[in-house]
């Protein structure tokens, strides 16, 4: 009898010899649909029905956790499915200290919890659901803009720290509420562990304590994935985070899957490049998948991309990736 998606992932994470094949999971933004909880739930379930991945990563717009603070954004057709911010909340250093704590009952946060409940009910227990959580620095970047955030970090660190503490406590409360919806884990997006943004010491000071606090809030879950975004990454630091799965741009950085496995104690996720999924042939997608399986011997490994699948990726390439682990 074939394993369920949940059983397969649990076997992968435990290095259980009963594992029948390497798990596979791709995810994408769902623009326009991501503006209403019920529409995002329906679109997420439709995507999973088409491809039958081993986990469902729920991908709301990055503003879902910021709109209750007053941020706003607009869809303009970006190929990754992301939106452009049209209204920031932070402009002056003192604004960080004025940021209020938000309860999970705040309208947009509550809407995302409703979305999770709908997805969980629609999937049944055999497929794990992961809720996207943006790190406090990632949220701060969208509240202020990247340039303003980095300037404030270096000129007014105490003020920014107060804001980060508020963001962290708000997000902890949201995670605790999300756990009650039956999710299997969180997808924790780390965007500032990059050398051109923060030096290692700056990352340790401004990011790491908040990251660890939020991963602790999800500590009772069994399928937490950390996503390490970008290039020139501080892999050594993030690889020590307490998570079950680590995902990064392995095709675009110096850190291959095999190299990552030497440092990270859990499963690694990647192997496919966004460019290949969009512009490559099905044969090229299959070749990347096979090379990734060879790198890892198919153990402690989940086939995926280093980030979201662009919304313009052809159906045939996505389906080829899905079938690569079974053919």
pLDDT at residue 189, as a whole number:
98
User: Which pLDDT score, from 0 to 100, does residue 165 have?
Assistant: 98
pLDDT of residue 196: 96
Q: Identify whether the C-beta of residue 278 lies closer than 8 Å to the C-beta of residue 312.
A: yes
Helices assigned H by DSSP within 52-106:
93-98
Residue pLDDT, tens place only, 48-83: 999 999 999 999 999 999 999 999 999 999 999 999
Q: Express each pLDDT in 229-244 by its tens digit.
A: 999 999 999 999 999 9
Assign a CATH topology to domain 5-323. Answer: TIM Barrel (3.20.20)
Residues in the chain where the model's pLDDT stays below 70? 327
What are the helix (H) ranges across the chain? 5-13, 37-51, 93-98, 107-123, 136-144, 146-155, 157-179, 200-206, 208-217, 235-238, 257-263, 274-279, 282-296, 315-323
pLDDT at res. 18 = 87
pLDDT recorded at residue 327: 63
């Amino acid at each position: 009898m074939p394993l369920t998606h949940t059983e397969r992932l649990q076997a992968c994470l435990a290095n259980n010899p009963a594992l029948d094949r390497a798990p596979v999971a791709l995810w994408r933004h769902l623009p326009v649909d991501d503006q209403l909880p019920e529409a995002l739930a329906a679109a997420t379930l439709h995507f999973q029905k088409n491809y039958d991945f081993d986990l469902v990563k729920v991908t709301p717009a990055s503003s879902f956790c910021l709109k209750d603070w007053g941020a706003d954004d607009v869809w303009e057709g970006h190929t990754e499915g992301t939106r452009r911010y049209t209204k920031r909340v932070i402009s002056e250093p003192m604004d960080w200290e004025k940021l209020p704590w938000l309860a999970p009952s705040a309208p947009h946060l509550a809407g995302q919890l409703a979305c999770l409940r709908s997805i969980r009910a629609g999937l049944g227990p055999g497929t794990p659901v992961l809720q996207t959580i943006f790190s406090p620095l990632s949220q701060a970047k969208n509240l202020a803009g990247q340039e303003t955030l980095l300037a404030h970090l270096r000129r007014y660190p105490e003020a920014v720290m107060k804001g980060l503490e508020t963001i962290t406590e708000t997000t902890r409360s949201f995670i605790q509420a999300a756990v009650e919806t039956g999710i299997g884990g969180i997808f924790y997006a780390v965007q500032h562990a990059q050398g051109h943004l923060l030096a290692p010491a700056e990352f340790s000071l401004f990011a790491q304590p908040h990251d660890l606090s939020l991963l602790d809030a999800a500590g009772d879950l069994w399928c937490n994935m950390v996503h390490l975004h970008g290039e020139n990454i501080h892999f050594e630091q993030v690889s020590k985070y307490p998570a079950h799965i680590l995902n990064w741009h392995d095709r675009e950085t110096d850190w291959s899957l095999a190299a990552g496995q030497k440092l990270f104690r859990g499963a690694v996720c990647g192997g496919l490049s966004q460019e290949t999924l969009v512009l490559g042939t099905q044969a090229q997608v299959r070749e990347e998948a096979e090379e990734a399986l060879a790198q890892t011997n198919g153990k402690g490994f989940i086939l995926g991309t280093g980030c979201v699948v662009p919304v313009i990726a052809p159906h045939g390439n996505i389906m080829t990736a899905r079938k690569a682990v079974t053919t």
